[in-house]
Chain A
Amino acid sequence: MPLAYSLPSNLSPATVTNTSSLLRIIALSLISGAAIASRLFAVINFESIIHEFDPWFNYRATRVLAEKGFYEFWNWFDPTAWYPLGRVVGGTIYPGLMATSGVIYNVLHALHLPVDIRNICVLLAPGFSALTAWSTYMFTKEMKDESAGLLAAAFIGIAPGYISRSVAGSYDNEAIAIFLLMFTFYCWIKALKTGSAFFGTLTALFYFYMVAAWGGYAFITNMIPLHALALVLMGRFSSRLYVAYSSWYAIGTLASMQVPFVGFQPVRTSEHMAALGVFGLLQIVAFAELVRAHVSSKQFQSILYGSVIAIAVLGALAFGGLTYKGWIAPWTGRFYSLWDTGYAKKYIPIIASVSEHQPTAWPSFFMDLQFLIFLFPAGVVLCFRELRDEHVFVIIYAVVASYFAGVMVRLMLTLTPVVCVAAAVAFSSLLDTYLDPAEPAVSEAAALSAEADIAADSPASTSAAGTGAAASGTSKKAKKAASADSSSSGFGSGLAAAFSNKSDKSRGIFGLDTRSLVIANALGMLLFFVLHCTYVTQHIIDDFREAYYWLRQNTPKDAVVMSWWDYGYQIAGMADRPTLVDNNTWNNTHIATVGKAMSSSEEVAYPILRKHDVDYVLVIFGGLIGYSGDDINKFLWMVRIAQGVWPDEIQEPNYFTQKGEYRIDDAAPPAMKNSLMYKMSYYRFADLFGGNQAIDRVRGQQVPKTGPTLDHLEEAFTSENWIVRIYQVKKEDPLGRDLKSANAFEQGKKRKKSKPLVRRKAVV
């Protein structure tokens, strides 16, 4: 049997195994190192600080946990959030992230390593990304082999779609959730393969951790039943499946109900019904198997048909009835928006207003996954070729996650792992094929049997030629040699051998030139991928911090700050001041109240502000330096959300011009010009241009020369680039006048003469 290149022959199998496992360990640790290091750019370039919005809340909650202990955290009522409603934090969050940091903090302190809780929070996400790489390795190893696992680990370690959510300082639930997701899936596959109740329990435990950490746990809750259902429908029911699923469902559900925020949801909401239904189905199927073992097959057929129909009808009736009676909560709005992308915009603007909940744009698939997105289908096809139970899982996962990632930008994150796994399978098959030194034997026998082969095994001959993952045909002898040798290459290949099972013969690659061409090309792709992944830009505009520290230093501790909800967590975290609404958008009415205040005129807004004890109003304005994520651009959402609650007072069309344009210049409609948001954004803006035409750089429109005036608010602070503007709400006039005339008096304007009030009607 010819070899394309010679292999050392004087190595004992033990040496080969040991060396390869050593190399694997080294490779894994390097991958972990790379995963961590690539997330530390921000810390090295700037400083160790929490980013963005949600992480600030998580950080604040973690500090409470670290300082006051778990029970205080559990019972934490935050009076500064959602002022004056307050927020029962302990019962409305997924505590997994904070608990993780708390445990790490306490362990380190028990070891006399006085690490600041902030640094733990900042570095948690990079740390867990290394664990994610490892769990992806374990998962992919179950799919194909170690070499594919290493590739998958490397991919997930630096995939931009995951990096963007787990850089140092983005201390968010997703940071640990992806690790938990992958590890739970790994445990599930392991449990399914071995039929071990131990691994089933392990799946349940990590499922519980996942439930405690991220609302996206519903993905697992539905993925595993879907997989189990698919296996049952494919006629692959086995006691292994039964044991794995039952132990996962029973323990996992009970455990998940211990999280206060989840509570009775697993038995009350539609999202969890699939898991319950499949659990029931498995019991029935298992029972049917038992019956089949005891009765003749003819009787069994009739029993089966009868009972299946009866059970299906009963189950559907029960489900419908319970939903109708309100025992099972109907699907939530967030869930509907997964099926109908227009749903949220129509009925729940608050969900649609989050940029993360928008449908994904096509380029972001490439930006987030680069060439993996092209390998992804190839990997899925390769899974079809073998189609063991775990491959079914990957296929289902791929289909479901692709759909969801297309619906919501945010769910890109759940797609990333499966893309990495599938791409790794495809890529490693490619490498296996082209690294395999065995060359096909050219003989008449081979030519003869080629026809038979096409007839017998057409998928093998037609599939995946483009990816170069065609099964490497080897003779039986060559196969033996290959399986002994291939592990020495460091990309140990069991699958190549498995593939070659189907055709004992031979199609393959001749010579070194083709090999090196393809391998070089593939390595080039990997290189570009790495370059793409490290191309991460970080914008930190200091205006935010400047403004939040101004609030912290210059306002009383209990001064209530009103802003749009996006900035609630940041104000609470960085400025430490009570806020009206924040990123935990649980109370639509309260948000609509803020929306109404922002979109109404001063006279209407002022009583709202006073009623809520608002001392300062904060707006984000990007018109000066062209920061497009500012409040004027979000303004229509405020209007829409307010309109949802007060349709008589706020109407979206009033904020557009006659032609339906969104304008801020002279042509802006009166409702727009009188709105508090407009006034606060453009107050004194035109003065900045010293008589020249003022231009809003975001909207590219000319701002009126005589800017708006404010009577009920006064400017308190404007940051360097005018991004953050803070206004103080005036108190009632001490003389009992309305603030408008009080202001006119201060400016020396003459008041109109008035006559005594007529106390009685004139008698004519």
Chain B
Amino acid sequence: MTIFHRQRSQGMRFLRGLLLPLVALAGFAFARSSTGDSVLVLLDPSLDRDNFSIFFGDLEKQGYKLTFRSPKEAEPQIIKDDVAQFAHVIVFAPDTKSYAADITPQSLVSLLNKNTNLLLALSTKQTPITSLAAEFSLILPPPGTPLISHFPERDTPATIIPVEPPRAQSLVSSNLAPIWFSGVPQALGNNPMLVPFLKAPPQSFASDGDSDSGSDALVEAAEKGGEGLWAGSQLSLVTGFQTLKNARATWVGGIDMFTDEFFNKEVSKGKQSGNRQFARDVTAWTFQESNVLRIDTVEHHRVNETLPRETYTINDRVTYTAYISKFNPELDLWEPYSNIKDMQLEFTMLDPHIRTALPPVPGEPGKYSVTFRVPDRHGVFKFVVDYKRKGSTYLESTTVVPVVPPRHDEYPRFLSAAWPYYAGAISTSAAFVIFVALWLGGDEREPKKGKGAKAE
């Protein structure tokens, strides 16, 4: 783990030095993903590509290379020889029931495991994609139940809803205009990896029939005490999901919000909807442009030393340092990042023996460091950094290091507590010398007498 980090970081530093001038020359024209530019768009033939011209145009302007494919075509394959062929996959086929052989819920999950990002659109119909949503802890309402809201009063149908964008959320640009939405809401399970982007308005609910007139469903559910009711601001409309391997998947409740029509639709007189910017923000997160962090390298060494030890001795004072970078999509490079205030370091053997804050070092961007005393316990310990926050890349680092007892010559040589033993040894030695001297210099008669006694 460490070695991997170290090598990568060295490589990156080298590259950074080489590339920085080039990038500066190229200008700041577009943002880039941290994982790659190739995007496969699985677009159902029933959807006209021109209806999404702004959305796709924006993506191409960002520098993504889009490849379009109908879900039923066999080429280009998404996984070839067990290697993912694209860095990102957009699945815009909300009504498609049958796919080519290479696209199954299982293969989409395996794409995520190969660090490919997904953007998936849902609809009110029951499709393979709907069943996949359940694997992401998304709980969808029964088929044919779109989100409906009668507020605010407007001239559009009840299923086309202007949604207030979230405030104070780092993932979406602030001060967005309301966003037009039409589609299915998702109730969220208990999975901590879910990142809701857009919550449903409090007055909205999911109901039978594409065009709701009455409120039968609502009344019925209310009589049951709210059981089985998809309603209210707990529902999510656009939900991100970051897997343990840091691939990102975003579920969009309805594909309409990406259409040119919704992009240009006014929310109030003269005020355009926030859809376009919101779509940009969502794709930026999904394609790992924003909120992408990484641990470049970790170091550990004894205080007053610089190189790491193979092993540490109990009660050593040890300094642990982590270097963390954040991806800058505008410059397409990794920059040191010092804004994490709540990171912790654990020193673990089975259980954490030490859990301490790992604060940024002032004046040294990207460096986080802490010094602590190794516990008085030998064993195989691990330095563990496990920083998981919603929306940003999980930072995980494990460095195994054995902690050993002192060597035979590292114990104190002289103990005052041992004086009785020293005294015993010295006095015995002295007594022996005196005894020998007396024996050799003593009277001859004594031993003779002894001999005589023995003979008896």
A755 lies within 8 A of B139 (CB): yes
- Judge whether A325 is part of the interface by a CB distance below 8 angstroms: no
A693 to B94, CA, bound (A): 49
- Judge whether A298 is part of the interface by a CB distance below 8 angstroms: no
- Judge whether A648 is part of the interface by a CB distance below 8 angstroms: no
B104 CB to closest chain A CB, in angstroms? 8
User: Do A75 and B407 form a contact, CB below 8 Å, given A86-B379, A763-B225?
Assistant: yes
B166-224 contacts to A (CB < 8 Å): 187, 189-193, 224
- Judge whether A306 is part of the interface by a CB distance below 8 angstroms: no
- Judge whether A41 is part of the interface by a CB distance below 8 angstroms: no
- Judge whether B420 is part of the interface by a CB distance below 8 angstroms: no
A86 to B349, CA, bound (A): 10
Residue of chain A at shortest CB distance from B249 = A735
Residue of chain B at shortest CB distance from A747 = B106
Interface segment among B70-78, B129-137, B291-299, B336-344: the answer is B129-137
B109 CB contact (under 8 Å) in A91, A239, A732, A745: A745
In the complex, chain A residues whose CB is within 8 Å of the CB of B193: 735-736
A558 lies within 8 A of B400 (CB): yes
User: Do A745 and B380 form a contact, CB below 8 Å, given A84-B349, A84-B350?
Assistant: no
B238-287 contacts to A (CB < 8 Å): 241, 243-245, 247
In the complex, chain A residues whose CB is within 8 Å of the CB of B454: 239, 293
In the complex, chain A residues whose CB is within 8 Å of the CB of B247: 734
User: Do A612 and B350 form a contact, CB below 8 Å, given A71-B408, A239-B454, A762-B224?
Assistant: yes
In the complex, chain B residues whose CB is within 8 Å of the CB of A74: 408
- Judge whether A459 is part of the interface by a CB distance below 8 angstroms: no
- Judge whether A764 is part of the interface by a CB distance below 8 angstroms: yes
A477 to B134, CA, bound (A): 110
A538 CB to closest chain B CB, in angstroms? 37
B227 CB contact (under 8 Å) in A77, A611, A755: A755
A619 to B180, CA, bound (A): 59
B187 CB contact (under 8 Å) in A239, A734, A757: A757
A85 lies within 8 A of B380 (CB): yes
In the complex, chain A residues whose CB is within 8 Å of the CB of B187: 755-757
Residue of chain A at shortest CB distance from B244 = A734
A755 CB contact (under 8 Å) in B191, B192, B228, B380: B228
A735 to B251, CA, bound (A): 14
Number of interface residues of B (CB under 8 A): 49
B378 lies within 8 A of A86 (CB): yes
A746 to B226, CA, bound (A): 34
A88 CB contact (under 8 Å) in B190, B349, B378: B378
B189 lies within 8 A of A85 (CB): no
In the complex, chain A residues whose CB is within 8 Å of the CB of B224: 762
A293 to B456, CA, bound (A): 8
B226 CB contact (under 8 Å) in A77, A239, A754, A758: A758
| From A86, A239, A294, residue with most partner B Cβ within 10 Å | A86
A243 CB to closest chain B CB, in angstroms? 13
- Judge whether B405 is part of the interface by a CB distance below 8 angstroms: yes
In the complex, chain A residues whose CB is within 8 Å of the CB of B407: 71, 75
A319 CB to closest chain B CB, in angstroms? 22
- Judge whether A79 is part of the interface by a CB distance below 8 angstroms: yes
B106 CB contact (under 8 Å) in A733, A748, A757: A748
- Judge whether B86 is part of the interface by a CB distance below 8 angstroms: no
A734 lies within 8 A of B350 (CB): no
- Judge whether A759 is part of the interface by a CB distance below 8 angstroms: yes
A750 lies within 8 A of B131 (CB): yes
- Judge whether A94 is part of the interface by a CB distance below 8 angstroms: no
- Judge whether B52 is part of the interface by a CB distance below 8 angstroms: no
A586 CB to closest chain B CB, in angstroms? 13
B103-134 contacts to A (CB < 8 Å): 105-106, 109, 112-113, 131, 134
| From A77, A735, A746, A760, residue with most partner B Cβ within 10 Å | A735
In the complex, chain B residues whose CB is within 8 Å of the CB of A84: 349-350, 379-382
- Judge whether B63 is part of the interface by a CB distance below 8 angstroms: no
B234 lies within 8 A of A759 (CB): yes
Residue of chain B at shortest CB distance from A742 = B135
A757 lies within 8 A of B189 (CB): yes
A732 to B192, CA, bound (A): 14
Residue of chain B at shortest CB distance from A77 = B404
A746 lies within 8 A of B106 (CB): yes
A611 to B235, CA, bound (A): 35
A745 lies within 8 A of B135 (CB): yes
A751 lies within 8 A of B131 (CB): yes
| From A239, A611, A755, residue with most partner B Cβ within 10 Å | A755
B226 lies within 8 A of A762 (CB): yes
Residue of chain B at shortest CB distance from A760 = B226
A760 to B227, CA, bound (A): 10
In the complex, chain A residues whose CB is within 8 Å of the CB of B112: 734-735
A78-101 contacts to B (CB < 8 Å): 79, 83-86, 88, 90-91
A754 CB contact (under 8 Å) in B106, B139, B225, B244: B139
A441 to B189, CA, bound (A): 110
B378 lies within 8 A of A77 (CB): yes
- Judge whether B229 is part of the interface by a CB distance below 8 angstroms: yes
A71 to B410, CA, bound (A): 12
A750 to B126, CA, bound (A): 13
A242 CB to closest chain B CB, in angstroms? 12
A77 lies within 8 A of B311 (CB): yes
A212 to B79, CA, bound (A): 62
A405 CB to closest chain B CB, in angstroms? 38
A565-585 contacts to B (CB < 8 Å): 578
- Judge whether B230 is part of the interface by a CB distance below 8 angstroms: yes
- Judge whether B450 is part of the interface by a CB distance below 8 angstroms: yes
In the complex, chain A residues whose CB is within 8 Å of the CB of B453: 293-294
B379 CB contact (under 8 Å) in A85, A558, A746: A85
A313 CB to closest chain B CB, in angstroms? 27
A293 CB contact (under 8 Å) in B192, B241, B404, B450: B450
B77 CB to closest chain A CB, in angstroms? 20
- Judge whether A737 is part of the interface by a CB distance below 8 angstroms: yes
A736 lies within 8 A of B228 (CB): no
Residue of chain A at shortest CB distance from B404 = A77
A548 CB to closest chain B CB, in angstroms? 22
A762 CB contact (under 8 Å) in B134, B136, B227, B402: B227
In the complex, chain A residues whose CB is within 8 Å of the CB of B135: 735, 737, 742, 745, 751
Residue of chain B at shortest CB distance from A750 = B131
In the complex, chain B residues whose CB is within 8 Å of the CB of A734: 112-113, 243-245, 247
In the complex, chain A residues whose CB is within 8 Å of the CB of B225: 762-764
Interface string of A410-422 (1 = CB under 8 A from B): 0000000000000
B245 lies within 8 A of A758 (CB): no
A734 to B244, CA, bound (A): 5
A286 to B380, CA, bound (A): 55
B243 lies within 8 A of A754 (CB): no
A639 to B89, CA, bound (A): 50
A90 to B409, CA, bound (A): 13
A84 to B347, CA, bound (A): 13
In the complex, chain A residues whose CB is within 8 Å of the CB of B136: 735
A751 to B109, CA, bound (A): 15
| From B105, B193, B379, residue with most partner A Cβ within 10 Å | B379
A751 to B105, CA, bound (A): 12
A611 lies within 8 A of B350 (CB): yes
| From A86, A734, A748, A756, residue with most partner B Cβ within 10 Å | A756
A732 to B193, CA, bound (A): 13
In the complex, chain A residues whose CB is within 8 Å of the CB of B408: 71, 74-75, 90
Q: List 17 A-B contacts (CB under 8 A).
A: A71-B408, A79-B380, A85-B379, A86-B404, A91-B405, A293-B454, A293-B456, A612-B350, A734-B244, A734-B245, A735-B191, A736-B243, A736-B244, A754-B189, A757-B190, A762-B226, A762-B227
Additional A-B contact list (8), CB under 8 Å, known A239-B454, A734-B245, A735-B244: A86-B378, A86-B380, A735-B109, A735-B193, A736-B192, A736-B244, A746-B106, A757-B190
The 5 closest A-B pairs by CB, nearest first: A762-B225, A756-B187, A293-B453, A79-B402, A77-B404
Interface residues of B (CB under 8 A from A): 105-106, 109, 112-113, 131, 134-137, 139, 187, 189-193, 224-230, 234-235, 241, 243-245, 247, 311, 349-350, 378-382, 400, 402, 404-405, 407-408, 450, 453-454, 456
